[in-house]
Structure 1
Amino acid sequence: MSRHKKKTRKQKVLADLHRKMQSLETHSSIALNEEKKIKSSEVPRIKPQTTVTYRPLAINTYPFLLKDISRTGILTAIILAFQIILLFLLKNHIISLQGISY
């Protein structure tokens, strides 16, 4: 059986906010339905439109991407520096390796 990945703290907070927003939507729709029932016997009036503004929740689907890319870049730079130093040492005959001549 496969294991599910654990949610991070940020994902849990975002899920909680999402649930709260959904509960606010249901409460506001129930309240509007009750108002309609009460006012159905009265003369219809223009109701001010209530808008619920949503802020887009920033869910980072790749939370470790920046860290992984920076590690890869650092490792690549270290390897390139080692190769350049090795080339310099071989060119100036400071070290010699069998089968390799510059």
Structure 2
Amino acid sequence: MTEKLSEETRGTLLKPLFQSGWKMVDGRDAITRTYHFADFVDAFGWMTRVAFWAEKWNHHPEWFNVYKSVKVVLMTHDVNGLSALDVKLARKMDALAPQVEPVGD
């Protein structure tokens, strides 16, 4: 069963994500990041690649696509907050995204 991140592991696991552009969501125990791509096809292609991993891991993001931007929110609904699954999926998303500077939400 998935467990909510403990206070002890939270800092260690989340710090690298914050350095890559992820942020805490105000009012929720969730993280968010907006990815920007060259065009709609690149954005949609990235979403498709991420979808395969999300399905494999049975952990699905909240995401919103407008043209060449994709805003992602990750949290584990079963624990009403962040879990190791969110960290794992965030890392995979970063690995699959083109290397660009993070842009604020």
Whether TM-score is above 0.5 comes out as: no
- Determine which structure has more spread, i.e. the larger CA radius of gyration: 1
- With normalisation by structure 2, the TM-score equals 0.23
- With normalisation by structure 1, the TM-score equals 0.24
